[in-house]
Amino acid sequence: MRMLLPHPLLSLSLFVLWLLLNQTVAPGPALLGLAVALIGGWMLKRIRSARLRVRRPLVALRLAGVVAVDILRSNIGVAQVIMGRRKKRHSGFIHIPLSLRDPRGLAALAVILTATPGTAWVEYDPEEGWLLLHILDLVDEEEWVRTVKHRYEQPLMEIFP
Instruction: Kindly give the confidence (pLDDT) of every residue in the chain, 161 residues in length, as a single tens digit, with 9 standing for 90 and above.
Output: 667 788 888 889 999 999 999 998 999 999 999 999 999 888 887 776 666 677 788 999 999 999 999 999 989 888 887 887 766 678 889 999 999 998 889 999 999 999 988 889 999 999 999 999 999 878 888 989 999 999 999 999 999 86
Q: How far is CA 69 from the centre of its chain?
A: 16
- Asked if 123 and 144 sit in the same domain, the reply is yes
Count of structural domains, the chain: 2
Domain that holds residue 84: 57-159
- Asked if 61 and 35 sit in the same domain, the reply is no
Is residue 3, in this structure, part of any structural domain at all?
A: no
| Alpha-carbon gap, residue 105 to 97, rounded angstroms | 15
Q: What is the pTM of this model?
A: 0.69
Is residue 125 classed as helix, strand or coil in its secondary structure? Answer: strand
| Distances 55 to 1, 3, 49, 101, 106 between C-alpha atoms, Å | 31, 30, 17, 16, 16
- Asked if 41 and 77 sit in the same domain, the reply is no
